[in-house]
């Protein structure tokens, strides 16, 4: 009986049992977990969408990363791989049975430049480049991209280094 009186006094003073408060809301930890999940989801969406409109720096960085991946792959596989670049897009190739055949897999699939992007390749409209089995290119390459007021260049030098300026 004494216990009942104590509980009744606690309720009258504004205290409630832990079980009752848990039924009415979320704990701070639960709220933080939900916010962390929402932040991860928002980050994934932003990274998937990318920047809006044509952005020369972004396109140059993506292109340079793919060219570097192709160079690395030629070293890992120990065989020649190539790429072609035109004013409208670019693609990657592998040498098989004495012929160049397109690579159509994931990040090395052919791509078009974003709409509104002007491209100059070694001062012209197109070029080809191949990496030998140790990652050295057969020639230097310079790709200049312009989108609106933004411009960027990708250089592949004689040592196979890929640089964005």
**Whether residues 66 and 92 fall in one domain:** yes
Assign 136 a pLDDT band (cuts: 50, 70, 90): very high
**Structural domain harbouring 25:** 2-49
23 or 106, which is more confident?
Answer: 106
**Whether residues 86 and 15 fall in one domain:** no
Least confident residue range of 15-19, 135-139, 154-158: 15-19
**Whether residues 62 and 121 fall in one domain:** yes
**Whether residues 115 and 155 fall in one domain:** yes
Which two three-digit tokens encode residue 99? Answer: 């012929």
**Whether residues 63 and 44 fall in one domain:** no
How many whole angstroms separate alpha carbon 59 and alpha carbon 53?
Answer: 11
**Whether residues 62 and 37 fall in one domain:** no
**Whether residues 108 and 140 fall in one domain:** yes
**Whether residues 77 and 98 fall in one domain:** yes
Check pLDDT > 70 for residue 137. Answer: yes
Please report, rounded to a whole number, the percentage of residues in the chain having pLDDT higher than 90. Answer: 44
Supply the pLDDT for residue 30. 85
Supply the pLDDT for residue 103. 86
Buried b (16+ CB within 10 A) or exposed e, 10-48: eeeeeeeeeeeeeeeeeeeeeeeeeeeeeeeeeeeeeee
Assign 68 a pLDDT band (cuts: 50, 70, 90): very high
**Whether residues 107 and 41 fall in one domain:** no
Check pLDDT > 90 for residue 164. Answer: yes
Name the domain count of the chain: 2
How many whole angstroms separate alpha carbon 49 and alpha carbon 126?
Answer: 29
Whole-structure pTM value: 0.67
Check pLDDT > 60 for residue 157. Answer: yes
Supply the pLDDT for residue 7. 54
């Amino acid at each position: 009986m004494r216990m009942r009186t104590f509980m009744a006094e606690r309720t009258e003073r504004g205290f409630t049992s832990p079980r009752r408060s848990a039924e009415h809301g979320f704990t701070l930890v639960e709220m933080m977990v939900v916010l962390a999940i929402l932040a991860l989801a928002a980050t994934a969406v932003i990274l998937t969408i990318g920047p809006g409109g044509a952005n020369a720096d972004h396109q140059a960085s993506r292109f340079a990363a793919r060219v570097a991946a192709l160079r690395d792959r030629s070293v890992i596989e120990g065989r020649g791989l190539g790429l072609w670049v035109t004013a409208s897009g670019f693609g990657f190739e592998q040498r098989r049975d004495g012929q160049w055949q397109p690579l159509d897999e994931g990040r090395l699939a052919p791509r078009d430049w974003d709409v509104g992007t002007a491209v100059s390749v070694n001062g012209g409209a197109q070029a080809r480049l191949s990496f030998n089995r140790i990652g050295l290119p057969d020639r230097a390459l310079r790709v200049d991209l312009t989108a609106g007021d933004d411009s960027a260049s990708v250089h592949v030098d004689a040592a196979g280094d890929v640089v964005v300026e």
